[in-house]
Copies of this chain bind each other. A is one copy, B any other.
């Protein structure tokens, strides 16, 4: 009954489902407090109080037909104006409301960007490790994902490898910073070189190549680190943003994209993004939460909880002997598997009720991802299990 493409997708998603079911099974045997589930990137920090206040204020003061009604496919003008002013002020690249589309989260944003840009068989370059949904998003438009490695010591993209991978078929390069799963922020140096390589290749091939940055973790950074702002480096650039993590609102599907005002054929691209938002069935980003965002710009969740988790987990694991880079942002720790087979390592970890995701799921075998967006107590309680897990490899 279902399409051929969906058959493959259902099969591969049943593997993830099986992992999830296995977690449920363990929790039902040992109790949820005794199973340490590091597998899900679901924010555990509560949304800021300002969200509820904003909803109350909107329901009290604004007309219901406006709050819940249709608007332009790219979103309410006043909300886009506020976001344009906020990003222009905060990051120093001036954009207007006409460069912004309100989207159903970053997943919706990436889909309308891909729908707008990609012809069948076009290539989209990503750097491994990468969020596995990118493959499905490209596949939605019959485009091909081309995977370029990152440098294994810094997890910054391997730019030499990038240079060799750009072809006449390359339509876009997709980056993700702060990165899921590595927690790395792409540096000033990386963005500058990345931009130069793309510009040189655009010239060489006489093409437009878009640089797309998926930034749901932009606000989730530690130690006063800053995330360099892509629009300062590159004009054929789009930033896809989501409030899922910065405001702990993943279920509400609210985000936006901002395109550089000097993007090639910017007006046509914006018109196409609007049409794509409509015909893919989003129509518009959910209206009440657009209005909430208009009232809560600059607000973010309490990061100290994630930071405390990161510090304890990183220190403990590296003291044991595990190898990992200290995450600069997001809420993931990407750790080297002590054995080459990362899937086997995840199976071994399960014996200690530790649920981890193999790096293979991110196109980077030999590593595992730990999502530390869980309660701090739970992290503390998991530490002895990691100790026992480490010991099993020392005894061999």
- A contact residues vs B (CB 8 Å cutoff): 1-7, 9-10, 13-14, 42-44, 46-47, 51-52, 55-56, 59, 64-65, 67-71, 104-105, 107-112, 115-119, 122, 133, 136-137, 139-141, 208, 210, 248-253, 263-265, 268-269, 271-272, 274-276, 278-284, 286-290
Known contacts A4-B119, A9-B272, A140-B279; is-contact A253 B110 (Cβ 8 Å): no
Chain B residues, CB < 8 A from A271: 10, 13-14
A272 contact from B6, B43, B116, B252, Cβ within 8 A: B6
Asked whether, in the complex, the Cβ of B286 is within 8 Å of the Cβ of A108, the reply is: no
Chain B residues, CB < 8 A from A264: 1
Chain B residues, CB < 8 A from A283: 104-105, 107-108, 250, 253
A52 contact from B46, B59, B117, B265, Cβ within 8 A: B59
Copies of the polypeptide in the assembly? 2
17 contacts between A and B (CB under 8 A): A1-B117, A2-B117, A3-B116, A3-B122, A9-B279, A13-B274, A14-B271, A68-B249, A69-B250, A107-B278, A137-B279, A140-B280, A251-B286, A251-B290, A252-B287, A253-B287, A288-B288
Separation of A249 and B6 alpha carbons in the complex (Å): 31
Chain B residues, CB < 8 A from A2: 116-117, 265, 268-269, 272
Asked whether, in the complex, the Cβ of B14 is within 8 Å of the Cβ of A252, the reply is: no
Chain B residues, CB < 8 A from A43: 65, 69
A55 contact from B55, B249, B253, B275, Cβ within 8 A: B55
Asked whether, in the complex, the Cβ of B47 is within 8 Å of the Cβ of A64, the reply is: yes
A281 contact from B14, B67, B110, Cβ within 8 A: B110
- Say whether chain A's binding surface is mostly helix, strand, loop, or mixed: helix
Chain B residues, CB < 8 A from A71: 251
Asked whether, in the complex, the Cβ of B248 is within 8 Å of the Cβ of A68, the reply is: yes
Asked whether, in the complex, the Cβ of B13 is within 8 Å of the Cβ of A104, the reply is: no
Nearest chain B CB to A60 CB, angstrom units: 9
Asked whether, in the complex, the Cβ of B42 is within 8 Å of the Cβ of A64, the reply is: no
Chain B residues, CB < 8 A from A52: 59, 64
Chain B residues, CB < 8 A from A64: 46-47, 51-52, 248
Chain B residues, CB < 8 A from A269: 1-2
Asked whether, in the complex, the Cβ of A65 is within 8 Å of the Cβ of B44, the reply is: yes
Asked whether, in the complex, the Cβ of A281 is within 8 Å of the Cβ of B108, the reply is: yes
Known contacts A67-B251, A104-B253, A252-B68; is-contact A275 B1 (Cβ 8 Å): no
Nearest chain B CB to A235 CB, angstrom units: 12
Separation of A282 and B70 alpha carbons in the complex (Å): 18
Chain B residues, CB < 8 A from A5: 119
Known contacts A1-B208, A104-B104, A286-B289; is-contact A70 B251 (Cβ 8 Å): yes
Nearest chain B CB to A199 CB, angstrom units: 15
A10 contact from B3, B10, B141, B272, Cβ within 8 A: B272
Query: What are the 7 A-B residue pairs with the smallest beta carbon separation, nearest first?
Result: A251-B287, A111-B281, A107-B281, A136-B279, A108-B281, A286-B286, A6-B272
Nearest chain B CB to A269 CB, angstrom units: 6
